[in-house]
Amino acid sequence: MSSMDLSTLDFAKLLPVWMRKDAADTGLSQALDVIIPFVADAIKKLSTWDVLDSLNDAELDELAWESNITWYDSYADIAIKRQTIKDADRIFRTKGTPWAVQRVINTYFGGESSLLPWWEYAGGRFPHFKVVTTNATLKYENYKMFLAVLEEVKRQCAVLDTILILIKSQGMVYAGSCVRTGAVTIIHAYQPGNIQISAKAYAAFPPVRSGQSTVISYNAEQGKEL
């Protein structure tokens, strides 16, 4: 006898023998064969947190609303929605801390972001802070969304001073150096008994320039540029 579960239901086989000949009973059984597997599949989703990766956009939006995740964005990519919901409990426990802010910002906008508290930069004053990030989009199309998300997870008294965007680029840097040496001899023709000979050493170390070289002579004896 083959096994039967809610997804492979054949309800007519569960009927008593005396009911199987009734057309109404067999008709209801066939209807249940269609309805029960659908309901059983929906019931599986009641165990929400272990099936987040299988929920669609509408289901994720509903779950975020039920969980009161105020920094949740229903217009975000589905992968971001899932990660936001997965992190929700930890964010609620640490809400207002730098870790919570950094976690939410990195989830939504990618890149690497960190908070710079007021005591770590010149001119800072309590309770101000700065955000340092490698995501250049925070300055343009995502700026308003960033501020909205930040407002939900930062401390209410905290004030954002500025967003520092770190942009990395690659290029060629040319550097060169040279050393120039020489001596100056002074001869007093009319005082052969009092000849003075002095030497001055010169060294040249050019500054680094991108794509060009410049030589600056430096007098080692006098300690100044020529």
Kindly provide the residue ranges of all beta strands, DSSP E only, lying in the chain, ordered along the sequence: 113-117, 128-133, 159-165, 202-204, 217-219, 224-225
Residue 193: its pLDDT value, please?
Answer: 54
Mean pLDDT by 10 residues, the chain (226 residues): 76 88 89 88 75 90 93 90 93 91 86 85 90 77 82 90 83 82 68 52 48 40 44
List all residues 6 or more positions away from 107 whose beta carbon is below 8 Å from its beta carbon: 80, 83, 84, 87
Q: What distance in Å separates the CA atoms of residue 124 and residue 102, rounded to the nearest whole number?
A: 20
Residue 114: its pLDDT value, please?
Answer: 84
Residue 196: its pLDDT value, please?
Answer: 53
- What one-letter code names the amino acid at 160? L
Quote the tokens at residue 156. Answer: 């209410």
Q: What distance in Å separates the CA atoms of residue 154 and residue 105, rounded to the nearest whole number?
A: 11
Q: What distance in Å separates the CA atoms of residue 202 and residue 219, rounded to the nearest whole number?
A: 5
Q: Which strands form 128-133's sheet, in the order they lie side by side?
A: 113-117, 128-133, 159-165
Query: Peptide bond before 206: cis, by omega within 30 degrees of 0?
Result: no
Q: What distance in Å separates the CA atoms of residue 91 and residue 62, rounded to the nearest whole number?
A: 19
Residue 221: its pLDDT value, please?
Answer: 45
Residue 134: its pLDDT value, please?
Answer: 84
Q: What distance in Å separates the CA atoms of residue 34 and residue 28, rounded to the nearest whole number?
A: 10
Residue 217: its pLDDT value, please?
Answer: 39
Q: What distance in Å separates the CA atoms of residue 105 and residue 119, rounded to the nearest whole number?
A: 22
DSSP-derived 3-state class of residue 149:
helix
Residue 75: its pLDDT value, please?
Answer: 87
Residue 144 · residue 177 · CB < 8 Å: no
List all residues 6 or more positions away from 142 whose beta carbon is below 8 Å from its beta carbon: 109, 135
Nearest to 32 by CA among 43, 40, 44: 40
